[in-house]
């Protein structure tokens, strides 16, 4: 990297931000630590325009740490439905409970104390302290990684520990002495609106004069892509067990693993038999079975192919064993927090409720 005066990068960025940056995001008014925290966690995997309505609903329902900590996890997950990566919502809830128990219901102002909380990593802690308190902390979210990988021509994939270390050093070295809240927003805005992933607008960029990738005309090569590894495919069935009242059985997923804490129809591993599972696990007898079109859902480490099986039972089922982990829901009722593909499946089922189940299937 060439010797660029530190203030130069920050100063140009701040001047650009004053004119072109985003000054009316809902978490900027007011810019409290709580609101910055919620927005930062929502923005970890999601774009600003998607986050805004979720943020507004979330802080209206849970305006502070105490309200969030005392809320039922189901209510938190319900407001998160559609944003994906539900571990973020579970971590927000757990972190709020820790803040209530250990920090008087406030976000700690100490960097190390923030890092102890679930779901708060180095970049999120830095963003909270810089934006809410003007403290001198660097950030390195996805947008900033891309800007700095290009600006300093870091050739390795930013997820590699060596590249990550280098990018953190660069990010810290470029911090200005003042206006940390604005600077943090400015570098995120630059990544979101100018140094974009596909078509960076270098001609409009305030730091193009010493951007190493731009000077070398090799912008398209940065950041280096993640080394390719094919995601394995997992197969499973979703059992849409329907009782005589037309209700579907849902179970709460265990906290760890896919869709942790959300409500979901029972899942059946590949090659397992639905009739046997119904009999052995629930004491239920299958009357009819209908195969619905399969669904695909991509997780970070694998792809799931889900075969929905619509199942009718023999006799009337009156109760479930444990209301906190199982429940019958009517398709016409507002469902609890469901994983996105299951919510879509419920929508399709709702539209087809007029269609009868097929003739009894012999198990
Ligand atoms: Fe990104 Fe181009 Fe600006 Fe470099 S000059 S930081 S590549 S927009």
pLDDT tens digit at each of 363 positions of the chain = 555 455 589 999 999 999 999 999 999 999 999 999 999 999 988 889 999 999 999 999 999 999 999 999 999 999 998 888 889 999 999 999 999 999 999 999 999 999 999 999 999 999 999 999 999 999 999 999 999 999 999 999 999 999 999 999 999 999 999 999 999 999 999 999 999 999 999 999 999 999 999 999 999 999 999 888 778 889 988 999 888 778 888 998 888 778 888 899 999 888 788 888 888 888 877 777 888 888 888 887 888 988 888 888 776 555 555 567 888 888 877 667 888 888 888 888 887 765 554 443 333
- Residue/partner pairs of 354-358 with CB below 8 Å, 24 or more apart: 357/242, 357/288, 357/290, 357/310, 357/312, 358/288, 358/289, 358/290
Alpha helices in 174-273 (DSSP H): 180-193, 212-215
Distance 34 CA to ligand 1 centre (A): 32
Chain-centroid distance, C-alpha 256 = 16
Tell me, yes or no, if 270 is annotated catalytic. no
Q: Any residues with CB less than 8 A from the CB of 310 and at least 6 apart, and which?
A: 240, 242, 289, 290, 291, 292, 349, 357
* Ordered structural domains, the chain, with CATH: 6-221 (1.10.340.30), 233-350 (3.90.79.10)
Distance of alpha carbon 250 from alpha carbon 85, whole angstroms = 20
Minimum-distance ligand 1 atom for the alpha carbon of 208: 5
| 3-class secondary-structure state, position 107 | coil
Half-sphere exposure of 301 (CA within 13 A, CB side): 2
Q: What is the DSSP letter of 233?
A: E
Nearest residue to 338 (alpha-carbon basis) of 262, 265, 232: 262
Segment 25-37, tens digit of pLDDT: 999 999 999 999 9
Segment 49-87, tens digit of pLDDT: 999 999 999 999 999 999 999 999 999 999 998 888 889
Nearest residue to 90 (alpha-carbon basis) of 54, 115, 117, 121: 117
Distance 205 CA to ligand 1 centre (A): 6
In testing the pocket of ligand 1, which one of 150, 170, 188, 223 has its CB within 8 Å of the most ligand atoms?
150
What φ, ψ does residue 56 adopt, rounded to 5°? Answer: -65, -40
Nearest residue to 236 (alpha-carbon basis) of 297, 281, 279, 288: 297
CA distances from 184 to 12, 105, 158, 243, 284 (A): 13, 25, 19, 54, 57
Minimum-distance ligand 1 atom for the alpha carbon of 194: 8
274 lines ligand 1 (CB under 6 A): no
Distance 202 CA to ligand 1 centre (A): 5
Distance 219 CA to ligand 1 centre (A): 7
222 lines ligand 1 (CB under 6 A): no
190 lines ligand 1 (CB under 6 A): no
Minimum-distance ligand 1 atom for the alpha carbon of 207: 3
Q: Whose CA is nearest to atom 5 of ligand 1?
A: 208
Please tell me the pTM assigned to this model: 0.74
200 lines ligand 1 (CB under 6 A): yes
The token duo for 217 is: 């005309």
Minimum-distance ligand 1 atom for the alpha carbon of 201: 8
Q: Whose CA is nearest to atom 1 of ligand 1?
A: 195
CB 91 within 8 A of CB 118: yes
Chain-centroid distance, C-alpha 19 = 31
183 lines ligand 1 (CB under 6 A): no
In testing the pocket of ligand 1, which one of 147, 186, 222 has its CB within 8 Å of the most ligand atoms?
147
Distance of alpha carbon 117 from alpha carbon 101, whole angstroms = 12
- DSSP secondary structure, 36-52, as one string: HHHHHHHHTSS-HHHHH
In testing the pocket of ligand 1, which one of 1, 190, 195 has its CB within 8 Å of the most ligand atoms?
195
């Amino acid at each position: 990297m060439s010797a660029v005066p530190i203030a130069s990068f920050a100063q140009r960025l701040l001047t650009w931000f004053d004119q072109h940056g985003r000054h009316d995001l809902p978490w900027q008014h007011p810019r409290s630590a709580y609101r910055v925290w919620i927005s930062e966690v929502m923005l970890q995997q999601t774009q600003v325009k998607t986050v805004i309505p979720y943020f507004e609903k979330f802080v209206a329902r849970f305006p502070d740490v105490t309200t969030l900590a005392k809320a039922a996890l189901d209510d938190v997950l319900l407001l998160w439905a559609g944003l994906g990566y539900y571990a973020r919502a579970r971590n927000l809830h757990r972190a709020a409970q820790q803040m209530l128990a250990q920090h008087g219901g406030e976000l700690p102002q100490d960097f190390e104390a923030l890092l102890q909380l679930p779901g708060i990593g180095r970049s999120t802690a830095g963003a909270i302290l810089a934006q809410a308190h003007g403290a001198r902390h660097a950030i390195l979210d996805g947008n900033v990684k891309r800007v700095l990988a290009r600006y300093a021509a870091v050739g390795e994939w930013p997820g590699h520990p060596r590249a990550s270390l280098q990018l953190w050093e660069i990010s810290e070295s470029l911090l200005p002495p003042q206006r940390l809240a604005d600077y943090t927003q400015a570098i995120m805005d630059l990544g979101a609106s100018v140094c974009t992933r596909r078509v960076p607008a270098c001609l409009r960029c305030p730091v193009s004069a010493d951007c190493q990738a731009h000077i070398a005309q090799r912008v398209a090569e940065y950041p280096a892509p993640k080394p390719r590894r094919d995601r394995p495919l997992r197969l499973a069935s979703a059992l849409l067990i329907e009782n005589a009242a037309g209700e579907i059985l849902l179970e709460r997923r265990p906290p760890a693993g896919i869709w942790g804490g959300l409500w979901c129809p029972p899942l059946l591993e590949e090659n397992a038999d639905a009739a046997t599972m119904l009999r052995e696990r629930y004491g239920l007898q299958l009357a009819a079975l209908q195969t619905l079109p399969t669904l695909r859902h991509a997780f970070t480490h694998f792809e799931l192919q889900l075969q929905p099986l619509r199942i009718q039972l023999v006799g009337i089922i009156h109760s479930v064993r444990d209301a906190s982990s199982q429940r019958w829901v009517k398709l016409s009722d507002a469902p609890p927090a469901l994983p996105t593909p299951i919510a879509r499946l419920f929508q399709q089922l709702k539209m087809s409720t007029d269609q009868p189940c097929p003739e009894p299937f012999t198990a």
